[in-house]
Amino acid sequence: MRTYQQDLSDLFLAFVKNGDVRNDILKWIGDCLIENRGKNKEWSSHNPLTAYLYVSDGFLLNLNLILLNLARPFSEPYSSKLLKINPCKESKPNEMIVKL
Quote the domain boundaries for residue 36.
Answer: 2-84
Where is pLDDT greater, at 41 or 34? 34
Question: CA 70 to CA 37: how far, in whole Å?
Answer: 21
At residue 43 the predicted structure's pLDDT band, cuts being 50, 70 and 90, is: low
The answer to whether 71 and 63 are in contact (CB under 8 A) is no
Q: Give the orientation angle of helix 22-35 with respect to helix 57-75, to 10 degrees.
A: 130
pLDDT tens-digit series, residues 9-34 = 999 999 999 988 999 999 999 999 99
Amino acid at 5: Q
Question: CA 10 to CA 14: how far, in whole Å?
Answer: 6
Is residue 33 situated within a structural domain? yes
The answer to whether 22 and 96 are in contact (CB under 8 A) is yes
pLDDT at residue 66 in the model: 94
Is residue 20 situated within a structural domain? yes
Number of domains in the chain: 1
Is residue 95 situated within a structural domain? no
pLDDT at residue 27 in the model: 92
Highest-confidence segment of 37-41, 46-50, 61-65? 61-65
pTM metric for this prediction: 0.72
